[in-house]
């Protein structure tokens, strides 16, 4: 009789440990998000509960989502923004250089066309003198 009650108690204990263990495991992404002061920690917490009903399919993605944010660097795009700013500055300087080169080419073409006209005029004058 004692073993029957002991087995029943053990079954209840194991069922409760498994039940609450699953809940605690599914709160791990929320705890990570809370520790990192994640801006979406409420959404991660609700998604953890939804993951219980979707047979844990989204739980790994919640873990990734919770670990992406860090308080010191945010989403990690600050360095990317700096690089984009540097690239934008370099592109602006290259655009200025191209504009200066285009103006220089236009001036050289103008000088070349003036020289060509003078050369044609001299050739025409020499041809007329030769006739």
Q: What angle do CA 96, 97, 98 make, to 5 degrees?
A: 90
Domain that holds residue 112: 77-131
Q: Are residues 53 and 96 in the same domain?
A: no
How many domains does the chain divide into? 2
pLDDT confidence tier of residue 95, bands split at 50, 70 and 90: very high
Domain co-membership, 88 together with 37: no
**Shared domain check, 31 and 7:** yes
Residue 114 burial (CB count, 10 A) = 10
**Do 35 and 63 belong to one domain?**
yes
Q: Are residues 106 and 90 in the same domain?
A: yes
Residues 70 and 84 in one domain: no
Q: How confident is the model at residue 130 (pLDDT cuts 50, 70, 90)?
A: low
CA dihedral 73, 75, 77, 78 (to 10 degrees): -30
Same domain, 71 and 90: no
pLDDT, one tens digit per residue, over 38-89 is 999 999 999 999 998 888 899 999 999 999 988 877 777 767 777 888 899 9
């Amino acid at each position: 009789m004692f073993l029957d009650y002991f087995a029943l108690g053990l079954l209840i204990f194991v069922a409760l440990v498994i039940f609450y263990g699953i809940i605690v495991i599914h709160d791990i992404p929320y705890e990570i998000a809370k520790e990192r002061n994640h801006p979406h920690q409420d959404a991660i917490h609700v998604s953890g509960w939804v993951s219980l009903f979707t047979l844990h399919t989204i739980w790994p993605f919640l873990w990734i989502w919770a670990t992406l944010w860090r308080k010191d660097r945010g989403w990690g795009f600050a360095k990317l923004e700096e690089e984009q700013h540097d690239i934008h500055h370099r592109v602006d300087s290259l655009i200025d250089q191209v504009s200066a080169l285009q103006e220089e080419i236009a001036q050289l073409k103008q000088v070349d066309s003036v020289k060509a006209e003078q050369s044609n005029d001299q050739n025409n004058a020499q041809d007329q003198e030769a006739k």
